[in-house]
Chain A
Amino acid sequence: MEADINTSTQANTRAATGAVADPLRIAGRDYRSRLIIGSGKYRDFAENRAALEASGAEILTVAIRRVNLGQHSGEPSLLEVISPDKYTILPNTAGCYSADDAVRTCKMARELLDGHKLVKLEVLGDQKTLFPNVTETLKAARTLVADGFDVMVYTSDDPLVARELEEIGCVSVMPLGAPIGSGLGIRNPYNIRMILENATTPIIVDAGVGTASDASIAMELGCAGVLMNTAIAEAENPVLMAAAMNKAVAAGREAFLAGRMPRRLYASASSPTSGTFFPPL
């Protein structure tokens, strides 16, 4: 099943070498897929699981919230439908507006997931933009790294902030491409490029992707991966969009590795200009 989901190139290379070709390495662990997806906004768990399978993603973000103490307490929970044994669960701190709340959420997540250290830190600044509160993000990152967490951090596309988060010891820096849930694509590719030039950790675009080409653009810039939720969950056909994103991320990665041709203002003929059987222009 897994091989069916991956691109044939990846599958062939893996079969030949027995190792993961061109892995995404985060906190010492290798992943075949460079796509990380969220688990919010789906119609139900079944749709979420089908999208996850179609996406090829191996890392799934989840939110930490109060249990419902009402009459629905017998319903299955997300982690009973999508097993932490099969996927890397990435708990987020969505909804936190202070470093203290984010740190508390991560500690709850660690307990919930039996000592799991990998977290997605996001400390938000305001409800309208969901832009990060960078000051609180830096503060939370320092506390979490000191406490032994492996921190993947959502942040602005500011290269200096990205560098500081790396210096603190975050295992991945995840600048936004556009506001969370906006689907506006990579609004400032030049900032992402500046972040990439100085990067010492995997840079993952988190937020802003709207459709497959946006994901490819992020990967063609040289990003290590893309994290998305709404672009898949709010597509008219989420499972089909998940499959599209799987290919878009893989295609963008291959294009980046292949190295694109230079841009030219004028044309460059692909067929020989000599040897024609009619007079040249």
Chain B
Amino acid sequence: MELIVNGEPRSLPAPLSVAGLLGELGMTGRRIALELNGEILPRSEFGQTMLSGGDTLEIVQAIGGG
């Protein structure tokens, strides 16, 4: 299935949960926040939330800034 992750298209095999995607991206356990199709997805729901083709995700972290 095709996903848009941080503005870039990615092709990943279904079925895949949000937690599974983070694992694929090497980001398991990292302090991040995530929007799925424009809505915040709480960390507690990463495991049970399944992705569908066409989903758009934004994954953010804290970086240096003023």
Contacts and interface: CB of A to CB of B under 8 A. Distances in A.
Given A77-B30, A108-B33, A112-B33, A66 B6 contact: yes
Interface stretch (A87-95, A248-256, A261-269): A87-95
A62 B42 contact: no
15 contacts: A39-B63, A39-B64, A39-B66, A40-B65, A41-B66, A48-B64, A64-B33, A65-B65, A66-B7, A66-B59, A77-B30, A108-B60, A112-B61, A180-B66, A181-B66
B65 A61 contact: yes
Nearest to A181: B66
B64 A41 contact: yes
B65 A67 contact: no
Interface of B: 5-8, 25-27, 30-35, 40, 42-43, 58-66
Nearest to A113: B62
A107 interface: yes
Contacts of B25: 69, 73
A79 interface: yes
A235 interface: no
B63 A63 contact: yes
A108 B64 contact: no
A112 B60 contact: yes
A269 to B, nearest CB: 47
Nearest to A71: B26
B60 A79 contact: no
A73 B26 contact: yes
Given A38-B64, A111-B43, 10 more contacts: A39-B65, A40-B65, A62-B65, A63-B65, A69-B5, A69-B8, A69-B59, A94-B66, A108-B33, A227-B66
B65 A92 contact: yes
A211 interface: no
A44 B40 CA distance: 30
Given A67-B6, A79-B31, A108-B40, A230 B66 contact: yes
Contacts of B33: 64, 108-109, 111-112
A181 B58 CA distance: 29
A131 interface: no
Contact of A78 (B42, B59, B60, B64): B64
Contacts of A40: 64-66
A64 B60 contact: yes
A80 interface: yes
Nearest to B62: A62
A40 B27 CA distance: 23
Nearest to A62: B62
A74 interface: yes
Nearest to B8: A69
A80 B64 contact: no
Given A108-B33, A111-B33, A67 B64 contact: no
A112 B42 CA distance: 9
Residue among B31, B43, B65, B66 facing the most chain A CB atoms (10 A cut-off): B66
Given A67-B30, A69-B6, A229-B66, A107 B40 contact: yes
